Amino acid sequence: MDWFFSVIRVAGASFPVASSFVQLQSEIDSKSLLERVEKLEDPVSSLHADVLTLSKSIYHELKSQESINLSFSDEFYSQYSRPLAVLKSRGYIKESEDISKRAMPL
């Protein structure tokens, strides 16, 4: 079935009105492909939108405390409860206390 749509796209490119639709479809396919490649290049950041800011905060605390055992405020846990839970469920981080006990329900 894909070959049929490919033939229609090639044939449609020769008509002025249809070529606009072919270009639109190409742009949509390109965006979709780019999103998939970005997820492959950086699978951790694609888990949640706040993972990048969370990782920057964790890195800043690692540098300032110079220890692998970090302690964060309750505000930090409530702000980043979802990305922390996602990272914990995937095994990327470990905590000595449960996130759900500290984090406020969302």
Query: In this structure, what are the phi and psi dihedrals at residue 60, rounded to the nearest 5 degrees?
Result: -60, -45
Same-domain check for residues 55 and 96: yes
25-68 per-position pLDDT tens digit = 888 888 988 888 988 888 888 888 889 899 898 888 888 887 77
User: What contacts 63, CB < 8 A, 6 or more positions away?
Assistant: none
**So what's the pLDDT on residue 98?**
53
Same-domain check for residues 11 and 36: yes
Same-domain check for residues 55 and 9: no
Same-domain check for residues 83 and 59: yes
- % of residues, the chain, pLDDT over 90: 2
**So what's the pLDDT on residue 71?**
79
Same-domain check for residues 37 and 56: no
Q: pTM of the predicted model, to two decimals? A: 0.57
Q: What is the mean pLDDT of the chain?
A: 79
In terms of residue numbers, what domain contains 59?
46-102
